[in-house]
Amino acid sequence: MKEIIRASIAIVVVCIILFGVNKYLNQSSGNAGSDTLTIFNWGEYIDPDLITQFEEESGYRVVYETFDSNEAMMTKIEQGGTSYDIAVPSEYAIDKMKENDLLLEIDHSKIPNLSNIDPYFLDLAFDPKNKYSIPYFWGTVGVVFNPTLLDGQTFESWETLWDPSLKGEILLVDGAREIIGMGLNSLGYSLNSTDEKELKEATAKLKELTPNVKAIIGDEVTPLMINEEASVAITFSGQAADMMWENEDLDYAVPQEGSNLWFDNMVIPKTAANVEGAHEFINFMLDAEVSAQNADYVGYSIPNSAAVELMDEEVTSDERFYPPEDARENLEVYKNLGLEMLGKYNELFLEFKMSTN
């Protein structure tokens, strides 16, 4: 009987120890705590000096992790292994995260610097009244090109990409929404189309582009364009701005048929362990001087009117990257098309990619 009692006590003790170890490991892996702020953001999407400044001013220790797609970010947050306090998804992902109950409502009373944001970028369809997200950066999808390597093409139309003289010259961003959307826009269709006939037609047209495609890649597009190893690329406006800074021969255009107008916003995931610190960080990033410094480093367009006033006018008056409102009329925001339709886009994009091999 004593042996049974001793064995039972031993089992209880081991269980308590294992529970404690498990709790410690979860906290460690999640970097959770009131003195820590864990941020999940795109790569190269914040000035590192600002993280240091925030740590010094707030007293929080920042743990910074990156992702390379909205889908990867959402999957990791859904899994819950790490208690992220801040994430920076795009508009359609925010819509999806709301649907899946992954976000906390934001307390606007704790973000006085929200008044710095241009009203144009607030209360948008994917997040009415900005209950769950606060604007961070915005931009377009377009064509970056090197006129010195071309025969006068200016890419006012997507149709120019199919010019036979561009054989083996075009780099494409590795994204289903961007490339299938480009195909749809080139035919005059919405880049949010769910019409199967339109989607098949767009895919067929993209396959005709195959001879001109040099590669379908991610961030590698930047050095390739800077070093003039390709003459044309489909990319994001901020990435184009970075290339143009390094190679002054490069130019950027958004074709007149239309393209994507995108927004990346800051959100607080429901699993956040430091909600107070998350609000402090959002407010810090919306400070005019901080936002202007961040924009100078990252190269993307900011929705912060107060910060724009502090920036180099040569940058903010460049309509390629800060298009006026009337120039945005042909641009569309990606809608959350649902899991089934997103799968269809991915399937068609894969079909197109296989045709380029």
User: Is 84 within any annotated ligand binding site?
Assistant: no
The answer for residues whose C-beta is within 8 angstroms of residue 89's C-beta and 6 or more apart is 70, 73, 74, 97, 133, 264, 265, 267
Using CB atoms within 10 Å of the CB of residue 320, give its burial: 0 to 12 exposed, 13 to 18 middle, 19+ buried.
middle
User: Is 57 within any annotated ligand binding site?
Assistant: no
What one-character-per-residue DSSP string does 26-73 give?
HHHHHT-STTEEEEEEETT-S-HHHHHHHHHHH-PEEEEEEESSHHHH
Tokens (6 digits) for 258: 């239309």
Using CB atoms within 10 Å of the CB of residue 5, give its burial: 0 to 12 exposed, 13 to 18 middle, 19+ buried.
exposed
Give the DSSP H/E element, type plus range, for residue 90. none
Annotated binding site for spermidine: 44, 92
Annotated binding site: 44, 92
